[in-house]
Amino acid sequence: MHEHAGTKARFAALTIGSVGVVYGDIGTSPLYAFREALVAATGKGPILEETVLGVLSLILWSLILVVTLKYVVLLLRADNNGEGGTLSLMALAFRGLNRHATPVVILGMVGAAMFYGSSFITPALSVMSAIEGLKVVTPAFEKMIVPLTLIVLIALFAVQTRGTGRIAILFAPIMVLWFVVIAAAGVVQIVHQPGVLAAVNPFHAVDFLIHHSGVGLVTLGFVLLAVTGGEALYADLGHFGRRPIQAAWFGLVLPALTLNYFGQGALMLADPDAIANPFYRMVPDPMLVPMVVLATAATAIASQAVITGSYSITRQAIQLGLLPRLEVQHKSGEQEGQIFMPRVNVILLAGVVVLVAVFKTSSALAAAYGLAVAAAMMVDSLLAFVVIRTAWRWPLWATAVVVTPLALVDATFVTATLMNIFAGAWVPVAIAALILVLMVTWRRGTAHLEVKTRRIEVPLSTLINRLEKHPPLIVSGLAVYLTSQSDLAPAALLHNLKHNRMLHESNLILSVKTEDIPQVAEADRVTITELSPRFRLVQLRFGFMESPNVPRAMGVARKSGLKFDIMSTSFFLSRRSLKAANDHKRPYWQDQLFIELSRQADDASNYFQIPTGRVVEVGAQITI
C-alpha cells in the first residue's frame, strides 16, 4: 500500500516537474503566436470573424497534429534506453540501418544545427515579448523594452555558472501558476463570446487556407510559433519519462493553451483594436504589472530550458564525434545532467544580445524564428520514419501511413516559413549552416587524421613483440597510455621509449569508446584484455549522455582484478600539433578550420577528469 502511494507521489512529482522544464517554450507562445498569425492573416485590412476562427482553428489543429500526435503520442515511444532528442533518434536510426547510414548522420547533424539556430532566438523572443507588456501599462515604457530585455537575459546567462539545480526547484510552481492564470484569462473572454468555440471545427482552418492561398501560407509560418518547443517534449524524455510528460500535456498544458488562444480570439471578435497585444489586453488593468512579472519569470524559465538543452545537445555531439571536446563543468554530485559549458554559454549570450539589439521588437524576432524550428521538426519526422521501419520493424505501408501525413505537415510549415526568409528567417538558418559546416569539418578532419595516423604509427602487437625480445630499462609503477585506436601503439608510448628509453613494469593501453546508447551499465563499463605480462588493453565504454570519468571507471575495473591507485599511476597523453599540408586534396580553408577547432578542444586530462598532477604529455607534429 505504501509502495503504491510512493509510486503515485513520484509520478505526480515528475508530472509537475515536467511542466516546469519541458513546457516553458511552448507555454509562453501565447504571448506572441496568435497576434503575429492574425496580423499576417489580415494585414492592414479589417479583422473579420472568419479570419479569427480560421487562425484559431489552424493553431488548435497544429497543436493536435504536430505536438499531440507526432511528439506526445508517437515520438515519446521512440526512446533510446529512456533518452530522447534528435541525436538520440539519429543513434536509433543508425543502429536500425547498420549500413548505408551516412544520410542518417547528415540528418542528425542538420537537426542539431537547426536546434542551435533556434536556440539563439528563443530567449530573445520570449523575454522581449513578456517585457513588452509594459507598453500596455503605459507607452512611456517603450524605450525601456530593449534595455530591460538585455538586463534580464544577461542576468539569466550569468547565473548559469552556479548550476540550475536550485533554480529548477522554483520552475514547476511558477509554470503551473502560469498555465492556470492564462487559462483563467481565456475563460473570462470565452464566456462573453462563446461563438469563438466554433474554431474547434477544422473546417474553418481548411476554408481559410482555400480562400486565402497566398496569405494563408504566410499565416502558417506564424502559426508555427504556437508549436515551437514541441520538440522539447522528446528531448527531455530522459529527465521525466513518457507518462509524466503525457499526463502534463493532456491534463494541464494543452487545455490551458487552447483556452488562452480561444480567449484571445474571443477578445478580437469583441474588440478588434486589441490586435496590438491581445494577450495582455485580456488582463484587467490592476493585474497588468503582476502579469508582466509572471510572464517574465515564465519566459526566463523557457529560456533556461533552451540553454540547458544546448549544453546537453553539445555534449551529445561531442560524444558522437560531431564536435571537438569542449569544457564541461559538473554542478551537482548527484545529478549527471547538471552541467555548465562556459564556451557554449558565452556564444549563446553574445548571439542573443546581438539579436535583441538588431531586431528590437518581438514581432521582428517572430518573423525570424520559424524556419529553423520547422526544419528541425522535419528532420525528426524523417528520422522517425527510419526508426519505425527498421528498429520497430513495422511494414513499409504502415510506416508510410503514420509518418507521411506528419511529414507533409512539417513540409508545409517549412514552405510557409520560407516566405519569411528576407524578413529575418535567414538568421537562424545561417547560424545552423555555420554549425553544420563545423560539424562536417570536424567529422571529416578526424576521419582523415585517423587514416593518417594509421599510416605512420606502429601496430601495438608488433611493438609488444619487439619489447619482449629486446626489453628496455624496466622501472616500477603503473603507466596508462590513452589512445583512440587500440590496435596501434600510442604515440606517447613510442616517444617515451625513444626519449626516456624505459618502460614501466605494468602498462595499460586505455581506449575510451562512446556507444550509441545514452548510458552504459556499470557491468559493461570495462573490458580488460591481457596482451602480454607487461601490457593489458583496457576499454572503457560510455553512453553519449555520460561524461567520461576515467578514474572512476577504472575504479570499477578493480572488480575485474585490476590493481589501480590513482596517486601512484602516471597517465601518458599525446598532444598533437597539426599543420596543413600543401597537397590541396581538400580545401585549404577546411584544413585551417579543423586545425583551429582542434586548438579549441578542451585538454584531454580535463575532459576525462584525470588529476593533472598524474599526467605526462608528449607532443608530436602531424601534417594533415
- Whether 367 and 467 map to the same domain: the answer is no
- Whether 619 and 511 map to the same domain: the answer is yes
Tell me the C-alpha distance between 526 and 558, whole Å. Answer: 10
406 in any annotated domain: no
- pLDDT at residue 4, rounded to an integer: 57
Q: How far is CA 523 from CA 91, 100, 102, 317, 502, in A?
A: 22, 31, 31, 25, 35
- Whether 277 and 136 map to the same domain: the answer is yes
- Given a cut of 50, whether residue 333 has pLDDT beyond it is no
Residue 528, C-alpha cell as written in the block = 580488460
Average pLDDT over residues 334-339: 55
- Give the residue from 338, 353, 372 where a domain finishes: 372
Residue 332 pLDDT grade (very low, low, confident, very high; cuts 50, 70, 90): low
- Give the residue from 341, 357, 372 where a domain finishes: 372
- Whether 488 and 361 map to the same domain: the answer is no
609 in any annotated domain: yes
Element counts in the chain: helices (H) and strands (E): 26, 8
- pLDDT at residue 412, rounded to an integer: 93
CB 425 within 8 A of CB 370: yes
- Whether 226 and 350 map to the same domain: the answer is yes
- Given a cut of 50, whether residue 334 has pLDDT beyond it is no
Name which residue leads in pLDDT, 415 or 575. 415
378 in any annotated domain: no
Tell me the C-alpha distance between 59 and 223, whole Å. Answer: 6
Average pLDDT over residues 7-12: 82
Q: How far is CA 129 from CA 22, 232, 304, in A?
A: 20, 20, 16
207 in any annotated domain: yes
Q: How many domains does the chain have?
A: 2
- Whether 341 and 483 map to the same domain: the answer is no
CB 124 within 8 A of CB 389: no
Residue 241 pLDDT grade (very low, low, confident, very high; cuts 50, 70, 90): confident
Residue 331 pLDDT grade (very low, low, confident, very high; cuts 50, 70, 90): low
> What residues make up the domain containing 514?
458-623
- Given a cut of 90, whether residue 188 has pLDDT beyond it is yes
Q: What is the pLDDT of residues 24-50, one digit of tens each?
A: 889 999 999 999 999 999 887 888 899
Nearest CA-CA partner of 604 in 580, 579, 576: 576
What's the chain's average pLDDT? 86
Residue 327 pLDDT grade (very low, low, confident, very high; cuts 50, 70, 90): confident
- pLDDT at residue 87, rounded to an integer: 83
| pLDDT over 70 percentage in the chain | 93
- pLDDT at residue 64, rounded to an integer: 96
This prediction has a pTM of 0.82
105 in any annotated domain: no
- Give the residue from 350, 372, 394 where a domain finishes: 372
- Whether 27 and 151 map to the same domain: the answer is yes
Name which residue leads in pLDDT, 231 or 294. 294
- pLDDT at residue 370, rounded to an integer: 83
Q: What is the pLDDT of residues 419-470, one digit of tens each?
A: 888 888 888 889 999 999 999 999 888 888 877 776 767 888 999 999 988 8
> Is residue 601 helix, strand or coil?
coil
Average pLDDT over residues 578-596: 77
Q: Which residues contact 6 (CB under 8 A, 6 or more apart)?
A: none
Q: Which residue type occupies 89?
A: L
Q: DSSP secondary structure string, 7-24?
A: HHHHHHHHHHHHHHHTSH
Tell me the C-alpha distance between 345 and 339, whole Å. Answer: 11
Tell me the C-alpha distance between 370 and 357, whole Å. Answer: 20
The torsion region of residue 580 among left (phi > 0), alpha (psi -120 to 50) and beta comes to: beta
- pLDDT at residue 2, rounded to an integer: 47
Sign of the dihedral through C-alpha 428, 280, 30, 127: positive
352 in any annotated domain: yes
Tell me the C-alpha distance between 9 and 524, whole Å. Answer: 32
* Packing angle, helices 102-131 and 362-386, rounded to 10: 150
- Whether 65 and 170 map to the same domain: the answer is yes
- pLDDT at residue 99, rounded to an integer: 57
* Packing angle, helices 288-319 and 342-359, rounded to 10: 130
420 in any annotated domain: no
Tell me the C-alpha distance between 405 and 355, whole Å. Answer: 35
Residue 610 pLDDT grade (very low, low, confident, very high; cuts 50, 70, 90): confident
| pLDDT over 90 percentage in the chain | 33
- pLDDT at residue 337, rounded to an integer: 53
Ordered strands of the 569-579 beta sheet = 526-530, 535-542, 502-514, 473-483, 569-579, 615-623
439 in any annotated domain: no
- Whether 79 and 189 map to the same domain: the answer is yes
- Can you tell me which residue has the cell 596517486? 567
> Is residue 79 helix, strand or coil?
coil
